Structure 1
């Protein structure tokens, strides 16, 4: 495993674009801390975002993992270009000539996906812990370390998303087109969701629930379901909603079913990537 990771590390290290994208990604993760500095002073109205409870334990685990997952696109570019470059620069063929098996080649990519996801998760954990210790109103250990399931969901989400990108990179062999294919697939899921809303519009009960039951098995939707939006969970938002007659009863917990679905898709993407690699004439 270390030998395979070492090979990938040197490929990323000496690729300028990959280095730049990786630095941008972790720079954006660090920028979450800048949210604490957002203040609005408009006459008598003074608004400090950090004082609204977004950095309170355990809510911070939910909020920060949700925001951090938005930036995953930058690492996706690294993963996709890492695969595409193997074909463009003929390094894949050279690695196989040097004795690396196709299985080891694919494993080296997947290990890189796991390491990048793990480093990202640890980075978000440390950043969130520091912000929470500085701004949270609750510092009891039992509260601090509750809801860490969001970090598990964040890790699984990154692994699934990057595995999807790895498969598309293997399939299309061009980074720009692979990223484009990811966007097209997201559009397809969006159109499908809209069509289901139309199909189930006359179903007794909740149309939303009926659509969710179907859409939860789609890869990108399943990844999205791992960490639901945290804004409506804030006390201030619920108070405003109650004042206008709306009652928010959303379940924000991490679903074990969503984790299983994403892990299943991850296995499918890797299996398909391996089959492509075995059958393709290099």
Structure 2
């Protein structure tokens, strides 16, 4: 496995565009720390974003994983480009000639996907921990290390999404078309959501049905954290509104994404096995 990973990372590091995208991605993950510096002083009104509780433990695990998940598109580009380069440069054929089996080839790509997801998760965990230790009002260990389910969900979410991108890269063979198909699939899921809500079920039932679709199931792993913020809850109470949402990560949501991950990886292998390279 280590040998397969070494092969993939050598390929990526020798590709200038992939190198730039990977570095940019981790710079962006770090840039979430800049949120702490946002301040507005307008006369008597003083607003410091870090002071409204977004970096409090354990809320920070929820907030940071939700926000940083949007940066995953950078690595999605790397993954689909990685597959496109295999076809355009004919390295996939050369790897197979050199003795790499198709199963090992797909395994090497999957290990790369898992590595990207794992390194991203560790990176976000460390950045969040540092920000929390600096800005959080709570420093008890029991509070600091509670709600780490969001870190697990973040890893599963990235692994599922990158596996989908890998499948699209193998299916389409061209990075631009693969990314276009990704956007198209997002639109398709949106259209299906509207049709299901209009013709079949009410809101909650529609959300349940759409939770079995790939992109929506990945999004459902980490719900939006803004309405969970204490300041937002206070404002809602003052205007007579009550926000009662379930923000927890559920085991069945993780299971759905893991199932899609397995489907994408197996489908990638099935496609590669069927094709004459």
TM-score, structure 1 as length reference: 0.97
Task: Work out whether 1:135 is the aligned partner of 2:159.
Answer: no
Q: List 4+ stretches of structure 1 deviating above 4 A.
A: none
For 1:181-200, list aligned pairs within 5 A: 181-200=181-200
Q: Distance in 1 between matches of 2:240 and 2:108?
A: 54
For 1:183-222, list aligned pairs within 5 A: 183-200=183-200, 207-222=202-217
For 1:83-98, list aligned pairs within 5 A: 83-98=83-98
Shift of 1:156: 0.2
The corresponding residue for 1:43 is 43
Shift of 1:245: 2.1
For 1:144-155, list aligned pairs within 5 A: 144-155=144-155
State the Cα deviation string for residues 202-254 of structure 1 (Å, max 9, x = none).
x6xxx221111110100000000000000000011111112222211000000
Root-mean-square deviation (CA, aligned residues, Å) is 0.7
TM-score, structure 2 as length reference: 0.99
The corresponding residue for 1:32 is 32
Task: Work out whether 1:247 is the aligned partner of 2:237.
Answer: no
State the Cα deviation string for residues 176-218 of structure 1 (Å, max 9, x = none).
1000000000000011111122124xx6xxx221111110100
The corresponding residue for 1:68 is 68
SS in 2 for 1:247: coil
Task: Work out whether 1:167 is the aligned partner of 2:187.
Answer: no
Structure 1: give runs of 5+ residues left out of the alignment: none
Q: Distance in 1 between matches of 2:44 and 2:153?
A: 41
SS in 1 for 2:61: helix
SS in 2 for 1:71: helix
